[in-house]
Amino acid sequence: MNQNFTLKKSKLISDLENKGINNQDILKAIQKIPRELFLSKSFWNKAYDDNALPIDCGQTISQPFTVAYMTQLLEVEKGMRVLEIGTGSGYQAILLHLLKCNVYTIERHKPLYEKAKLFFEHNKLPISCHLGDGSKGLLNHAPYNRIIVTAASPDIPEELLKQLEDNGKMVIPVGDTTSQTMYLITKKDNNFTYEEKGKFKFVPLVGEFGFSE
């Protein structure tokens, strides 16, 4: 990594800490990931800004704070089975892998799926990557200890709740296409608790149990 990236990454880590990201494992994992590799070269100068940036298929790589915040809410532990809805660039999946999770990820855009899968394979990352409708989850590998939804849903898909193991947690942004509330959902003895965790803005979750195309 060049010196400029190193300085910018250090500033980003400091900014994340100032915004309340106190999980050192998450911060160390973010420190390890070269975010510029998930962007076109025209955006490399902004790779360590705390902003969402465009990728292919009209999608985005999420703001680093949002990635770190959602991951911190999940409270993942080594060996947990984690389902990610919306592979996108693959950045979030790699972060979860570095946190020693068994990661399953699903993407509906074929070019993004193919690019991420190739990246995982090239870097020998044991991330299970799938093409399909993320609003339906990934039933054939369920249940999961954690589910993270990286796109805005009009409501909470029942299919995803069914795929959550007991004592499991899910984070999902719910709302319209302009603004959403982040929910942390915890399953205990087949009952669910719902906590609101702030306002965010994501690209829409498109699919049978999401927004229509």
Q: In what order do the strands lie in the sheet with 180-188?
A: 128-131, 102-107, 81-85, 144-149, 164-175, 180-188, 191-200
* CA–CA gap between residue 135 and residue 202 (Å, rounded): 15
- Angle between helical axes of 110-122 and 91-98 (0-180°, round to 10): 40
Strand partners, 184: 171, 195
Place of tokens 């962007």: 39
Cβ(79)–Cβ(101) below 8 Å: yes
DSSP one-letter code for 80: -
Q: Is residue 84 within a helix (H) or strand (E), and if so which, with residue range?
A: strand 81-85
Q: Which of 10, 14, 42, 62 is catalytic?
A: 62
Residue 62 is given by DSSP the state P
Cα separation, 35 vs 148, whole angstroms:
20
Active site residue 179: no
CB 54 within 8 A of CB 43: yes
Active-site residues, by number, are: 62
